[in-house]
Amino acid sequence: MIKKTLAGLAIGCVLSAPAAFAEEYQGFYFGVWGGSGSVDIPSKGTFDTAVTASLPTELTRSAYIDDNGTTVLTDDVLHTFALVGSGTSKLDDSVSVWGAQLGYRFGKFFAAEVGYAKLGEASYRLPVTVRETVRDLTTNATASGNFLGERAMQFTSSGPTISALGMMPIGQHIDLHVRGGIYLADTRVTNRLRDVEFNSGNVYHQRVDASQTEVFGGIGGAWNINENFVLRVEYQKYLDVGDDEKTGESDIDVFNLSVLFK
């Protein structure tokens, strides 16, 4: 009787094992992630040359504030700018990144995910001294003076992602994976000249947007803490983000940590 009971338990364990294994490796999951990265943008010296050369020379304003603090509306005032001097520029190509994903694991070796990635902001800043000449086009009267300004550029990108993962379980708790997918990027580059001495805001501002479909890939590993929670680390590379004619293109490298909920 005891032998029959033990045999029945053994057969039951064998028959139930595939079902339990399938439940462990199949189903939906949701995750959030964050990390850091870098943008492959031109060197600081390249920016110094390009930004200095691109200082706007003429700008007609539809309004200005006079010495009494009164806003004067006009279309007849021409502002001309000239670079007098510059300080030491700063280039920050590091970015703080974050995102979220919804995935489905089809079995031991394959999963698919849709998500959203926010790839941070890279920036360049150059302190400048600018001479501004104001000419009234009606009376031809002119006035000029210097102010301390900042010439700056920002590069940002974000958008949805769609990717497939090839997975390799290592034991019961560790997975390795490779990823390939597309990134529906909304990329923005802003250029501005800001008056920092009198805190009067942007003297000049230009924004260029580009929406492009890019490719990205990744490699990483995951620790399956239990049947509900997973920690994942991953390196990702986003290729040629931006538009070559509008914003320029840059590769973005990302290291992130994800928390997944099954």
Domains defined for the chain, CATH in brackets = 26-261 (2.40.160.20)
Say what the pLDDT of residue 161 is.
98
Which residue numbers in the chain have pLDDT < 50?
A: 1-23, 62
Q: Within 13 Å, how many C-alpha atoms sit on residue 77's CB side?
A: 16
pLDDT, position 14? 36
Considering the entire predicted model, what is its pTM?
0.79
Give 43's DSSP letter. P
* Residue 8 pLDDT: 43
Give the per-residue pLDDT at 10: 39
Q: What is the DSSP string of 146-164?
A: EEEEEEEEEEEEEEEEEEE
What is the rounded CA–CA span in Å between residue 106 and residue 57?
Answer: 60
pLDDT score, position 25: 66
E strand or H helix that includes residue 13: helix 2-24
